[in-house]
A and B are shown apart, each in its own frame.
Chain A
C-alpha cells in the first residue's frame, strides 16, 4: 500500500481499524448503557440503548458506596504522595546527576534496584511495620508507603532529564554565591517542569489505580479509596449490575476526563519510557 497517497487499500485498512476500535469500546459501551437502565430493562434488553436515562442508579451508588468520601481519599492520597515524591525524588536526582563519583553512581543503582523488586516481597514486613506504628487505616500510612515505593521510577526519570540538561545557569548561580539548595530551588527545579509533569501524571495514576495497598491498609477505616469503596459496594449489591456499573462509571470518570483534556501529553508521557 502506498505510504503517501490515500488509495483503496488505505480505506480498507481504515475501516478495519475503526471496526477494531468499536470492538475495543464495546465493554465500555455496555458499562455506560447498563448504568442508565432500570433493573427490569437490564433483564429484558441489557445491550440496547436505554429507553430513557435513569439517573437513580447514580444517586444510589453515590450515597450507599460513600463515593464522595472515596473520591476525596483517592485524590488526597494521590496528590499528597506525588508531591512528596517529587520533592524527595528531584532533590536526590539532582545530587545523583551532578556528582560524577562512585557515590552518585552507587546511589543511582541502589534506587533502580527498586524497579525490579516486586512489592510482594516487602508486603508482609511492611504490613507489620505499619501495624506496629499504629498507622493502619490512616492516610499517613498510604502517603508514606507511596513516597517510598514511587521513588525508583521518579528518580529514574528525573536523573535522565537532569543529565541531559545544560548546567550553565546553575553554575553561574553557584559562582554568585548561591548554595546548591538555593540553586536547585530557584533555577534547576523550574527548568524541570516538563519532566515534573510526566512524573506527576504517571505516579498519580499509579496511586489512583492501586488496589492491593488500600485494600490492606484502609479497609473498614472509612478512608477507603475508590477501588476499595467500589469493591465493598459490589459485595453489597451482588448482581445488581445497573447499580454496580453506575459506581464503576463514577470511579473511572475522573481519569477519563483528565485523559480527554490532556491526551497528547499523557500518551507522550507513557511513550517516553522509550527515550528516557
Chain B
C-alpha cells in the first residue's frame, strides 16, 4: 500500500489520452529515444527480467542452490492444491483483502464526509487521521503486537471498563488472529482512503448541493444522487489500492504472527517467503508467486476496464 501503487487507478485513463494525441498527428519534438535507455536498462534488469524468470521457474523444481533443475510442468500447482497450508493461505489472502477493502473504505468515506462538512477542526483532524499511513508498517506492527498481547493495552483497557469477559489473546487465538491483523491495516490506512475521498468530494461543485437543497433533497438523497456518482473515480482508486495492498500483505504478518497460530494468518506472501527462504523450494515458491501475480493482475485489469468504460460514457 505504498505510494508506488498510489496511482494505479489513473493508469487506465492515460492510454486513451495518448491515442487522442496520436490521432491529432502533431509534429512531435524529435527527442531521441536514447534518453529512454538508462531507465529501460534498470527496469529490465530489476523488474522485467526477474519477473519473467520467476514465471518460468514456477514450472521447475529448482531449489535455489543447485545449478541444475528440471521442467516439471504443472506439478507445483498440483502440490499447491493438495497442500493444506497453501490452500489456507489462499483463503486467508482473499479474506484479508476483501475485509480490509470494505472496512477501510467505509471508515475512510465516513471520515471524509465528516471532514468536508462545516466543522472547525477539520484540518487538524485530517492531519491526525492520515498520520498512521506514513509510518513504517513493520515498525508499527510491533506496537500492535503489544496492544494485542494478553497483558497488552487492549486487554488493560477492557479490564478498566469492566469488560473482563471480552479479554482475549488477540493474536494467539486461531479464530481471532486474522481479524486482529486486518484491524491493524485498517487503522493504518483508513486515513489514506479518507484523503483520496476528501479530494474527490472537494471536486464536487457546491452549486449542485445548493440546487438539490432548494429542491428539498435531504442529506442522504444529496449523498446518493450527487456525491456518490461524482466521487466514483476516488472510489475506484481506493478500492484498487486497498485490495492490491491487502492481497500482497506481508510485513505486518511477518512481524506479528509469522503466519500462526497454526496456519491461521498464513497468506500467499508469507508462504512465498517461507517456501523460498526457509525451505529452499524456489520452484514451488515462484509458482505461488505466479498465482498471486495473476490474481493481482486480474483485479487490476477488472478495475481498469471499469474505469475505461466510465471514461467512454463521460
Interface residues of A (CB under 8 A from B): 1-6, 10, 13-14, 16-18, 20-21, 24-28, 30-31, 34, 46-47, 87-89, 91-92, 94-96, 98-101, 103, 105, 107-112, 114-129, 144-145, 147-153, 155-157, 159-160, 163, 167, 170-171, 174, 180-181, 184, 201-203, 205-206, 208-212, 216, 226-227, 230-231, 234, 241, 244-245, 248, 251-252, 255-256, 259, 263, 266-267, 269-276
Interface class of chain A by DSSP: helix
Nearest-neighbour CB distance to chain A for B280, whole angstroms, equals 11
User: Which stretch (B83-91, B98-106, B135-143, B170-178) binds chain A?
Assistant: B135-143
| Cβ–Cβ < 8 Å partners of A160 in chain B | 10, 14
Q: Does B127 contact A (CB under 8 A)?
A: yes
B128 touches A231 (CB 8 A): no
What string of 1s and 0s marks CB contacts (under 8 Å) between B281-304 and chain A?
010011001101100110011000
A88 touches B38 (CB 8 A): yes
| Cβ–Cβ < 8 Å partners of A116 in chain B | 8, 296-297, 300-301
**Given contacts A16-B114, A17-B121, is CB(A152)–CB(B126) below 8 Å?**
no
Give 12 A-B contacts (CB < 8 Å), ordered by A residue: A13-B117, A95-B31, A115-B5, A117-B47, A151-B42, A153-B7, A167-B29, A209-B136, A212-B254, A244-B146, A256-B134, A267-B127
Closest to A116 in B: B300
Q: Which of B8-28 contact A (CB under 8 A)?
A: 8-11, 13-15, 17-19, 21-22, 25-28
Nearest-neighbour CB distance to chain B for A177, whole angstroms, equals 14
A206 to B245, CA, bound (A): 13
Nearest-neighbour CB distance to chain A for B221, whole angstroms, equals 14
B26 touches A91 (CB 8 A): no
B139 touches A274 (CB 8 A): no
A202 touches B153 (CB 8 A): no
Q: Does B248 contact A (CB under 8 A)?
A: yes
B126 touches A25 (CB 8 A): no
A149 touches B47 (CB 8 A): yes
| Cβ–Cβ < 8 Å partners of B286 in chain A | 121, 124-125
Q: Which of B45, B140, B142, B209 contacts A244 (CB 8 A)?
A: B142
Q: Does B277 contact A (CB under 8 A)?
A: yes
A147 to B44, CA, bound (A): 11
A231 touches B43 (CB 8 A): no
B46 touches A145 (CB 8 A): yes
Q: Does B162 contact A (CB under 8 A)?
A: no
Nearest-neighbour CB distance to chain B for A212, whole angstroms, equals 6
A163 touches B146 (CB 8 A): no
A212 touches B251 (CB 8 A): yes
Nearest-neighbour CB distance to chain A for B247, whole angstroms, equals 8
Most buried by A among B26, B43, B210: B43
A96 to B21, CA, bound (A): 13
Q: Does B131 contact A (CB under 8 A)?
A: yes
**Given contacts A92-B39, A115-B5, is CB(A17)–CB(B115) below 8 Å?**
yes
Closest to A228 in B: B138
How many pairs of A and B residues are in contact by the CB < 8 Å rule?
349
Most buried by B among A100, A150, A275: A100
Interface residues of B (CB under 8 A from A): 2-11, 13-15, 17-19, 21-22, 25-36, 38-40, 42-43, 45-51, 53-55, 57, 64, 111, 114-115, 117-121, 125-140, 142-144, 146-147, 153, 156-157, 187, 191-192, 195-196, 198-200, 206, 209-210, 213, 219, 233-234, 237, 247-248, 250-251, 254-255, 268-269, 272-273, 276-277, 282, 285-286, 289-290, 292-293, 296-297, 300-301
| Cβ–Cβ < 8 Å partners of A216 in chain B | 277
Nearest-neighbour CB distance to chain A for B43, whole angstroms, equals 5
**Given contacts A271-B195, A276-B10, is CB(A148)–CB(B119) below 8 Å?**
no
**Given contacts A30-B153, A121-B292, A125-B49, is CB(A94)–CB(B35) below 8 Å?**
yes
Nearest 4 Cβ contacts at the A-B interface: A148-B46, A202-B3, A122-B50, A92-B39
Nearest-neighbour CB distance to chain B for A13, whole angstroms, equals 6
| Cβ–Cβ < 8 Å partners of A271 in chain B | 195-196, 198-199
| Cβ–Cβ < 8 Å partners of B133 in chain A | 270
Most buried by A among B134, B146, B250: B134
Closest to B4 in A: A153
